Structure 1
Amino acid sequence: MNNHQNLPSTDLSVKLQAITVSVHDATQSCQGNVTLLLALLRQLESLHKEIRDGIFQDSLPDNRQRLYSLLKDIESEGGWPYIERMRLQAFLVNLSAEVDNQNQAIKNTGNSPGIDSSWEW
């Protein structure tokens, strides 16, 4: 294991907090724009993959004691980091509910927003 602990723990905490604030700010800027939010999620996933497949993998333990220490830390600190993708079925349920709401609004107002109301999901 390559122990690059040049940064004190508090310095790392400050940097992680700054990243968190930046991501929250970006999220707020994208609110309501699903395309921008998707781009943000893709960027975060890309960064996760870059760190995991690069410097993290290069820093993995090279002996049993260090491996045990890493596994103990993973277990005590909350598990392996993972970025879960939204399941397509959940996405379609949300989309279907939105289409149903739009169809109901069309029926209630009698106005068509340019979508053929006979079209169903």
Structure 2
Amino acid sequence: MNLSNELDAQELQVKLQALKTEIWALAHSHKGDTLTLLTLLRTLEEAHREIRDSLFQDSLPDNRQTLYALLKDIEELGGWPYVARMKLRSLLTNFPEASISENESTAND
């Protein structure tokens, strides 16, 4: 990697860290507001999907050497990016068992 590429990579890291800090501040300012935080998560997931499906896929290598370099980078520097979704069971951990049982019996009536 030459000096120009290293400077570009450092500049990118600074910008990404600033963006991450801004997103975290936005999320923190809506602490406790489930619907707003859910909207934020949906927006991040949508941005991830749009970048992956357009810009990233268009930039994928077209020869073995660059594919190998990409795979090596993925392996060495953190793996494949993934936006995880919560499982419904995780949401239910905040409810007491009695409330769940009560809702189930009401639904069965």
Distance of 2:78 and 2:15 partners within structure 1: 20
Q: CA deviation at 1:91?
A: 1.3
Distance of 1:77 and 1:47 partners within structure 2: 22
Distance of 2:88 and 2:50 partners within structure 1: 24
User: 1:56 is matched by which residue type in structure 2?
Assistant: F
Distance of 2:35 and 2:52 partners within structure 1: 26
Determine the structure 2 residue equivalent to 1:90: 90
Distance of 1:19 and 1:74 partners within structure 2: 22
**1:23-53 CA-partner distances (Å, limit 9, x unpaired):** 1111111100000110000010011001101
Determine the structure 2 residue equivalent to 1:41: 41
Q: TM-score, normalised by structure 2?
A: 0.80
User: 1:120 is matched by which residue type in structure 2?
Assistant: E
Distance of 1:21 and 1:92 partners within structure 2: 30
* 1:75 and 2:75 are equivalent in the alignment: yes
Q: TM-score, normalised by structure 1?
A: 0.73
Determine the structure 1 residue equivalent to 2:22: 22
Distance of 1:10 and 1:61 partners within structure 2: 23
Higher RCO (CA < 8 A, seq sep 6+): 1
Structure number having the greater helix percentage: 2
Instruction: Return 5+ residue gaps in structure 1 as ranges.
Output: 104-118
Instruction: Return 5+ residue gaps in structure 2 as ranges.
Output: 104-109
Number of equivalenced pairs: 97
Identity over the aligned pairs, expressed in percent? 52
* 1:31 and 2:31 are equivalent in the alignment: yes
User: 2:11 is matched by which residue type in structure 1?
Assistant: D
Q: Counterparts of 1:91-106 in structure 2 under 5 Å?
A: 91-94=91-94, 96-97=95-96
